[in-house]
Homo-oligomer: A and B are copies of this chain.
Amino acid sequence: MATDRDSVLEAAVGVLSRRPTAHLDEIARAAGISRATLHRIFPGREALIREVGAHSLRKVAGALDTAAVEEGDAQSALRRLVDAVVPDAALCAFIAGESQLYDDPEINELWEIQDARVRALFLRGQQEGVFRIELSAGWLSEAFFDLVAGVGWAVQDGRLAPRDSAFSLAELFLGGALRRTETP
């Protein structure tokens, strides 16, 4: 049974990433607690959503830390980031699908920080000659998160095996869909 905040938040992400309009009853049931207890932990729906967003962003920030994206060559850093972020792909799916969060300044700032770190990674990679310069760092960052969210949804719905997710994400994003006769 999940009684502490973080466990409830994890359960809430699982439900909300699929259906952002899920009722509090459903979220409470998913967390294994009653609606009354859910209300005791979080003052209301708005607060819950906000905390779920903040919690998700903290975990994304943790993944960026774990991957040490600021260190080493850019390609290896991105591969580390993929491995670190894929287990929390559902969180990214939630953040991506939740536009109303962007009204909250605190959430917005947290997101901006993480996005800037990823953009910086791509910019560094472009300067190192690792990443293509025809595609803007902003677009690379956005597309990367789109694919991470896509992986989250696909795994949740059983369309992609968790075992394959990191490989599929990294290979498609880095190498593209086209087959190459020789690797650079």
Taking Cβ atoms with an 8 Å cutoff, the residues of A that contact B are: 18-21, 75, 78, 97, 99-100, 122, 125, 129-136, 138-140, 142-143, 146-147, 149-150, 154, 159-160, 164, 167-168, 171-182, 184
CA distance A6 to B167 in the complex (A): 42
Q: Which residues of B have CB within 8 Å of A174?
A: 176-178
Contact B171 A180 (CB under 8 A): no
Q: Which residues of B have CB within 8 Å of A139?
A: 154, 160, 164, 168, 172
* 6 smallest beta-carbon distances between A and B, as pairs: A176-B176, A146-B150, A175-B176, A132-B179, A181-B184, A174-B178
Q: Which residues of B have CB within 8 Å of A18?
A: 99
Quote the shortest CB–CB distance from A88 to chain B (angstroms): 17
Contact B100 A135 (CB under 8 A): no
Quote the shortest CB–CB distance from A114 to chain B (angstroms): 16
Contact B140 A150 (CB under 8 A): no
CA distance A138 to B168 in the complex (A): 11
CA distance A130 to B176 in the complex (A): 11
Contact A75 B178 (CB under 8 A): yes
Q: Which residues of B have CB within 8 Å of A175?
A: 132, 176, 178
Cβ contact of A180, chosen from B122, B136, B184, cutoff 8 A: B184
Q: Which residues of B have CB within 8 Å of A133?
A: 179
Contact A177 B131 (CB under 8 A): yes
